[in-house]
Structure 1
Amino acid sequence: MLNIETFDNVRGGNVVYKALSHPLAARALTRLAETVGPVALFDPDGIAGPLLALCPAFEVEGLYVQDTQAIGQIRTGHVARALLDLPQARVRKVLLAAFDAGRRAQHLQTLLPPGAELVTLDAVKLPEDWLSVSRRYLEPRNFATNFVFFRDDERFATRLTTANYWAGYGAKEVLFQHILFDQGGQVLAEWAQKSPTGPGGYVVDSREVRARFGLKPFTGQLFIHAIGVAGHDVVKYALDTYATDNGASLSCTHDANAWPAARFAGLPAPRADERVILWVQNSHGVPIPAGDLALDRMGADAPVALEEEIPPFATRALDVAELFPDLRWPAQLEVRAGRHVVRPRYEVVREGRTRIAHVNVERADLRPDPEIKALHPSMGRGYLLPFPVLPRGRFRTFALPTPMVEAERDMPLRLDVFTPQGEKIAEKFLGRLPRNHECAVDLDDLLPDGALLEGGHAELVYDFRDGGEADGWLHALFRFEDRANGHAAESSFGAHIFNTLMVYKNEPQSYTGKPPGLSTRLFLKLGFGGRESFCVLIYPASAPWEEHSSTDLELYDANGVLLETSRIRIACSGSKLMRPDQHFAPAALRAAGEAGYVLIRDVTCRLFGFHGLEDEAGGFSLDHMFGF
């Protein structure tokens, strides 16, 4: 397990981690460790652990602290000594483990060993033109970064789509810096690119990158850093994988979530005619040691390790069958990632088609919450996990609940099914699903043949009729299959309380402020290369809310210019399958271009959505949308 702290749901992200793990900082730390030789390490803020985990090349003579209560404690294998003992250290360099260290550095001058020189972490700061807020280095907006699974070869290309949504928070000019790593972790290319000054669309296509830099086929990861941001430090995007060999593959997935975690869950086992490949992408400038990453059959607590080192920033395609050759769908796996990777992608290969999706962070901080069983009546049905039921004339829809908390032992669940008009037409009590369950619900088993031919949606909810526990972190994987050609897509997400004025803890969740979150801002990219975009918008309601939504569809071009607006209404507990060409004029869509997008805006309620693409060959993709 890598000795770092990344993110928790109370304090948010750890900026020190971002500052130490940034690829430019990783290079600078390695150079610093090579030049300073043995050092006395003064650790005033307790960051020696992540510092030495992310740069173990430092040769530490001793670790020194100011806090008298910390003296004698073991930190990263060193017994903490009193700072007043520093003059006796036999070193020529003292490393002050702090950024913006000017005042502290002055205080240390009289304590330096004879002839010793003081160095600080200011030596590994990012260049000033990489910073959004130069006056304070450890400002979260200085580290608006993320990783992207990025591939371009004879069969597939990848395409990142996002928008300069920071313009809505007052950002004047946003610049994206990019570092592209190949499969072995070596840098293939580095470049900067401006985003539109307004809330315009932003696209990075692997085919264009490969042509621009004259690259050979590659599979690796793209590091992206947004500079000049305002409002928040999260880089969100949609990622499409599409065939370049006239093949039938098409899929989309969500952003990587920029924080490495100890465990991820929701990795499906393959069917007998499938391969499931987990793309392990090292997020750090240090290797993943052999045996540090493992897979475990969910609920078995018998992990099987990958006995192979993965170099810094490298990519390893791990076929699930390498470690679990006999495990089959609907069994699922847990990824014991040891905080080495951000949320990884997995790829399902079947009959010449491939689809890509992501696992989710499995939380270690949650415990069963007995109050969920007795929520205030104003919370109605409480936590809901909505998902589309695609038009059943063409598609099958499956739901596989996925344990997403380390302490979770059972999941007492019910499935409710709704028409687009918000009428509940079916329900099924799933029971108290154990952690190692294999319950994948086929909606065909719940509904008669003529139901939801044009689609609808369903919701997983807690149901305690037979007892059980809940933690509020209910997740599931959703799979959609074309009945005729076998093409499939899948997505996963977690539950929230939706559209209640009363609040329970941090629910109903808001995008940026305090709960309740009762408005909508969802991003829908437009199609490209002959592929057309669509989305399924769901109006989930834990308790009765507005009878219909008042949802505006705003069409923007690549420069952030609003071209057209269209109003739609969705029934409470209903849904709508929306295609841009049904709501905007052809001329407006042409003017928006392939980097344009639709902003789905509603100030009366919180909607949830899934977006995707369709092509003329019958391929499609589907994943949950992001909001901002």
Structure 2
Amino acid sequence: MLAIETFDQRQGGNVLYKALSHPLAAEALSALAARLRPLAPIALLDPDGIAPALLALAPALPPIAEVYVEDVRAIGREIAGCAACPLTDLPRSAARALLITAFDAERLKARLAPFMPAGMECLSLDAIRLPREMLTVPERYGERRNFATNFAFFRDQDGLSTRLVSANYWAGYGAGAVRLWLRLFAADGEVLATWEEALPAGPGGFAIDSRAVRARFGLPPFTGQLFLHVIGAAGHDVVKYALDTFPTDAGPSLSCTHDANAWPSERYAGLPAPREDERVILWVQNSHAVAIPAGAIALDRMGAERPVAFPRPIAPFATEALDVATLLPGIRWPAQIELRAGRHVVRPRYEVVRGGRTRIAHVNVERADLAPDPTLRALPAPLGRGFLLPFPILPRRRFATIVQPTPMATSETSLPLRLDLFDPEGRPAGSHFLGCLARDHALALDLDSVLAPDALPEGGHGELVYDFRDGGEGNGWLHALFRYADRESGHEAESSFGSHIFNTLMTYRDEPQSYSGKPPGLSTRLFLRLGEGGRQSFTCLIYPASAPWHPRSTTSLLLHDEAGALVAEAPLAIACSGSALIHPQDVFGPDRLARAGSRGYVLIRDTTCRLFGYHGLMDAAGGFSLDHMFGF
């Protein structure tokens, strides 16, 4: 396990982790280690408690001989293999150099100067700071907006290309000039290219196309990862995007995934086992400048507790295509696979290869900080049905819909679930108790098995909810994988996400979740990218309600061009507990979409209720993609 603290659900991300793991900081750490080695023995002052993370991410640092702490409660604690000494012992140190594991440390260095032994050199993590021009808030290095970063799976190889799409949503929070610092890593972890791109001055859309990057830098075919650093961010430090994988050789494949969730986790879940005629490839992408040791990555059949380790090391920032059958032969869908990642990677992608087609989706963070919540057995009446996990049912004449609940907490041993179905107007279309599922369950419910052939011909949506009639426990972190199959072309797409409490004035803990401010979150701001290269975008918008809410939504579809200017607006009213399947070309017409351009987008806005959405693309070859949307 990599000794780093990355993300806490209560406090958010650890910005010091991002400051240490940034690719440029990693290079500077190597230089700092080279500078310190001739000065051994080394003493360490750890005012912020980040020494374990520093040593994990900078193994080239010389051994630490002494550790000093300011907090009297930390005296005697083992840090970096040493018993921590009080800082008042510093004058008697035998070390030749003191490393302060903190940024913005000049005042601290000045305070210590009278107490340092003669000849002792004092250094701090200011030696690995990013250049000033890369900082959004230069005067406060630990400010979150200085490290608005993320990774993306990025490929231009074997007839498949990738296109990352988002918008300068920071402009809506008052940002001035915003630009991207980008670094592309090859499969072996070597740097292929480093460059910057300016974003539109307003809330305009932008795209990074692997074909354009490859042509710009004269690159060979590649499959690796793209590191993004947003400079000039305002409002928040989260970097969100949609990533399309599409064929460049007239092939039939098409898929999309959500952003990578920039925080490495100990475990991930929601990885499907292959069917007999499939290969499932897990793309393991090292998120750090230190190698992943042999055996540190492992796969396990969910609930088996018999992990099988990957036997080879993975180089810094490298990408490894791991065929799950090599570690877990014989395991077949609908079994699920758990990834033991040891905090070495951000949310990985997996690829399913079947019948000449390939599709890509992502696993999700399996939380280790959750315990069963007995309150969920009898939530107060104002919360209605409580936690809901909504998902689209695509038009059944063409598409099959398959639902697979996925355990998403290490403590989760049961999933007591019910499936509620609704037509587009919010009318109930059936309810099915799925049982109290075990952690190692193998349920994948094809809705064809519970719906009449003529039911929901134009689709609708379903909601997974807790149902404790047969016992079991819940934690509010309910997840599921949703798989869709085109009955005509055979193409498939899949997405996974988690539950929330939706559209009620009453709150429970941090629900209904709000992306800005305190709960309840009762408004919508969703991003829908437009199609490109003959592919047309679509979205399924769902109006879930834990308790009765407004009879219909008051939704606006706002078409923006590449500069962020409004091209057109269209109203939309979705019934409570209903849904709508939207194709921008049908709403706005080809002329307005042409004015918006390939980097334009639709902003889905509603100030009266929280909508939940899934988006995708469709092409003429029967390919389609689907994943959950993001808001800002």
The TM tier, using the shorter chain, reads over 0.9
1:605 aligns with 2:601: no
Residue matched to 1:6: 6
Q: Distance in 1 between matches of 2:260 and 2:338?
A: 17
| 3-state DSSP of counterpart to 1:584 | helix
1:71-110 paired onto structure 2 within 5 Å = 71-110=75-114
Residue matched to 1:45: 48
Residue matched to 1:61: 65
- Please tell me the residue identity of whatever aligns with 2:164: L
Q: Deviations over 1:277-312 (max 9, x none)?
A: 100000011111111111111001111111111111
- Please tell me the residue identity of whatever aligns with 2:569: T
Q: Deviations over 1:558-586 (max 9, x none)?
A: 10001100001111111110000111132
1:155-234 paired onto structure 2 within 5 Å = 155-234=159-238
Q: Distance in 1 between matches of 2:73 and 2:390?
A: 49
Deviation, 1:316, is 0.5
| 3-state DSSP of counterpart to 1:220 | strand
Query: Is the CA contact 1:40–1:86 (under 8 Å) kept in the aligned structure 2?
Result: no
Residue matched to 1:328: 332
Residue matched to 1:31: 31
**Could you list the runs of 5+ residues in structure 1 that have no partner in the other structure?**
none
Q: Deviations over 1:474-506 (max 9, x none)?
A: 000000001122100000000000000111111
Q: Distance in 2 between matches of 1:128 and 1:280?
A: 32
Residue matched to 1:572: 576
Aligned equivalent of 1:471, options 456, 469, 475 = 475
Deviation, 1:87, is 3.2
Residue matched to 1:614: 618
TM-score by length of 2: 0.98
Q: Distance in 2 between matches of 1:355 and 1:586?
A: 28
> How many residues were matched structurally?
628
Query: Is the CA contact 1:61–1:89 (under 8 Å) kept in the aligned structure 2?
Result: no
Residue matched to 1:141: 145
- Please tell me the residue identity of whatever aligns with 1:122: D
Deviation, 1:513, is 1.4
Q: Distance in 1 between matches of 2:74 and 2:511?
A: 38
| 3-state DSSP of counterpart to 1:27 | helix
Aligned equivalent of 2:520, options 516, 520, 528 = 516
Q: Distance in 2 between matches of 1:569 and 1:345?
A: 35
Residue matched to 1:368: 372
- Please tell me the residue identity of whatever aligns with 2:536: E
| 3-state DSSP of counterpart to 2:496 | strand
Deviation, 1:93, is 1.9
Residue matched to 1:596: 600
Deviation, 1:44, is 1.4
Aligned equivalent of 2:427, options 423, 426, 450 = 423
Q: Distance in 2 between matches of 1:561 and 1:435?
A: 49
- Please tell me the residue identity of whatever aligns with 2:56: A
Query: Is the CA contact 2:285–2:318 (under 8 Å) kept in the aligned structure 1?
Result: yes
Aligned equivalent of 2:296, options 283, 292, 298 = 292
- Please tell me the residue identity of whatever aligns with 1:530: G
1:351 aligns with 2:370: no
- Please tell me the residue identity of whatever aligns with 1:492: S
Q: Distance in 2 between matches of 1:549 and 1:436?
A: 39
1:91-130 paired onto structure 2 within 5 Å = 91-130=95-134
Query: Is the CA contact 1:269–1:331 (under 8 Å) kept in the aligned structure 2?
Result: yes
| 3-state DSSP of counterpart to 2:84 | strand
Q: Distance in 2 between matches of 1:61 and 1:505?
A: 45
Deviation, 1:626, is 0.4
Deviation, 1:114, is 2.4
1:484 aligns with 2:497: no
Task: Answer with 82-91 or 497-506: which moved more.
Answer: 82-91
1:378 aligns with 2:378: no
Q: Deviations over 1:498-527 (max 9, x none)?
A: 000111111101111111111000000000
| 3-state DSSP of counterpart to 2:73 | helix
Query: Is the CA contact 2:301–2:335 (under 8 Å) kept in the aligned structure 1?
Result: yes
Residue matched to 2:507: 503
- Please tell me the residue identity of whatever aligns with 1:474: L
- Please tell me the residue identity of whatever aligns with 1:161: V
- Please tell me the residue identity of whatever aligns with 2:243: L
Q: Distance in 2 between matches of 1:184 and 1:128?
A: 30
TM-score by length of 1: 0.99
Q: Distance in 2 between matches of 1:351 and 1:209?
A: 30
Residue matched to 2:629: 625
1:247-286 paired onto structure 2 within 5 Å = 247-286=251-290
1:530-545 paired onto structure 2 within 5 Å = 530-545=534-549
Q: Distance in 2 between matches of 1:520 and 1:80?
A: 50
| 3-state DSSP of counterpart to 2:588 | coil
**Could you list the runs of 5+ residues in structure 2 that have no partner in the other structure?**
none
Deviation, 1:40, is 1.0
Deviation, 1:153, is 1.3
| 3-state DSSP of counterpart to 2:234 | coil
Residue matched to 2:15: 15
Q: Deviations over 1:426-459 (max 9, x none)?
A: 1110110000000111000010111111111101
- Please tell me the residue identity of whatever aligns with 1:538: I
Q: Distance in 2 between matches of 1:503 and 1:551?
A: 23
Q: Distance in 2 between matches of 1:608 and 1:550?
A: 14
Q: Distance in 2 between matches of 1:432 and 1:97?
A: 49
Deviation, 1:154, is 3.4
Q: Distance in 1 between matches of 2:602 and 2:296?
A: 42
Percent identity among equivalent residues? 65
Residue matched to 2:460: 456
| 3-state DSSP of counterpart to 1:585 | helix
Q: Deviations over 1:309-330 (max 9, x none)?
A: 1111010011100100110000
Q: Distance in 2 between matches of 1:134 and 1:450?
A: 62
Query: Is the CA contact 2:181–2:196 (under 8 Å) kept in the aligned structure 1?
Result: yes
Query: Is the CA contact 1:278–1:346 (under 8 Å) kept in the aligned structure 2?
Result: yes
Q: Distance in 2 between matches of 1:147 and 1:435?
A: 30
| 3-state DSSP of counterpart to 1:444 | helix
Q: Deviations over 1:76-103 (max 9, x none)?
A: 3222122233333333321111100011
Residue matched to 1:238: 242
Q: Distance in 2 between matches of 1:593 and 1:394?
A: 30
| 3-state DSSP of counterpart to 1:583 | helix
Deviation, 1:605, is 0.6
Q: Distance in 1 between matches of 2:394 and 2:621?
A: 18
Q: Distance in 1 between matches of 2:204 and 2:420?
A: 38
| 3-state DSSP of counterpart to 1:616 | coil
Deviation, 1:179, is 0.5
Q: Distance in 2 between matches of 1:367 and 1:397?
A: 31
Query: Is the CA contact 2:156–2:222 (under 8 Å) kept in the aligned structure 1?
Result: yes
Q: Deviations over 1:571-626 (max 9, x none)?
A: 11111100001111322110111000000000111000000000011100000000
Q: Distance in 2 between matches of 1:88 and 1:295?
A: 50
- Please tell me the residue identity of whatever aligns with 2:7: F
- Please tell me the residue identity of whatever aligns with 2:251: G
Deviation, 1:269, is 0.3
Q: Distance in 1 between matches of 2:589 and 2:396?
A: 29
